[in-house]
Amino acid sequence: MTSPAPIRSSPPDNWAHQALLKDVREALYSLPSYFRTQTNIEGISATDIFTLNAALGAAIENQVVETLNQMRSVWDPNEQYALYSFRRQSQTFPDVLLRRSTAEEGSADDIILGIELKGWYLLAKEGEPSFRFQVTPAACAPQDLIVVVPWVLSNVIAGEPKVFSPYIEVAKYAAEYRNYHWTELRRTQSDRSIVSPVNVMPYPTKSDRIADVPRSDTGGNFGRYARTGLMDNYLAQARGELLCGIKAEHWLHFFKIFQEQKSTELIRAEIEAMRARISSTEQNADPQRIALIGIINHLETFLDA
């Protein structure tokens, strides 16, 4: 018999920072309006577009943290937390802490909340975030969040990084549901059990063991967060984001056609299949359809060059 699914919970009602948590969430959702960067990319080949995540991912995450600190008026409108700021930490959970600026590194004192922050290049070849979230639920405080920030270049293959509204989930619930998906929902004949570390507390040090470990994982898939189903609705929305007037999912398909180094005949067949699919799903007078067909026609010129 399947065990009941975990229930998303919040910090207790008497937690002193309820209003702050709400405002931090609002700030995160407002990131696209505030995000600024000095990074500018030019001259990248369209066939190398999938490499951008590895090249820029960490820089984007750093810039998100910098932007949050510059948005203090959004998450601290009454200046109650003037001594606190968002600070990145490496090699442990969570990636980002909202803590007192004078707090010692490695100490849990004066930490209000944590954010496990992941940048997601919207045109990554996998079509979904590939990060693994393996932290045991006991390492997550009730107020901690997992945040995924999608980004692309402003002109698709050139320009400045541009971010979109992020995915936000309660970290403890995310860890519990990941385990529930692994032990209860997957179709498998292998051992479904998970070994969890003991004596784990929120805001661990780098040396603490905080990862849940499956007893059987021959494919190395434990913790692939996007495969739990929790992000499905969000991913469908993100793939529909318009990049230069065209949905992200269509750009991804364009790039995949040429990235996989197929023969000219196979590429031409995929282009024709894409043209037919777009013609059947988009309205004839839709400007997006007209733009898509124009790009497809342009792609064909590369085959004849």
Tell me the average pLDDT across 114-124: 94
pLDDT value at position 68? 96
pLDDT above 70 covers a percentage of the chain that reads: 84
Task: Say if CB 275 and CB 293 are below 8 A apart.
Answer: yes
Q: Flag whether pLDDT at 290 surpasses 70.
A: no
pLDDT at residue 282 greater than cutoff 60? no
**Every domain of the chain and the residues it spans:** 18-230, 242-304
| pLDDT at 243 (0 to 100) | 87
- At 18 the three-state DSSP class reads helix
CA pair distance 124, 50, nearest whole angstrom:
5
What pLDDT is stored for residue 85 in this prediction?
96
Query: What phi and psi, each to the nearest 5 degrees, are found at residue 131?
Result: -70, 155
pLDDT of 182 strictly over 70: yes
Q: What is the mean pLDDT of residues 235-258?
A: 85
Alpha-carbon torsion angle 108, 112, 116, 117, nearest 10: -120
Higher confidence at residue 45 or residue 136? 136
Give helix 264-281 / helix 248-259 axis angle, nearest 10°.
170
Contact 158, 43 (CB under 8 A): yes
Render 253-282 in DSSP notation, one character per residue: HHHHHHHT---HHHHHHHHHHHHHHHHHHS
- Distance in angstroms (rounded) separating the CA atoms of residues 111 and 116: 14
* CA angle, 40 then 43 then 44, to 5°: 90
DSSP 101-164: TTSPTT--TTEEEEEEEEEEETT-TTSS---B--B-GGGS-TT-EEEEEEEEETTBSSB-EEE-
Per-residue pLDDT tens over the stretch 142-175: 999 999 999 999 988 889 999 999 999 999 999 9
Amino acid type, 84: Y
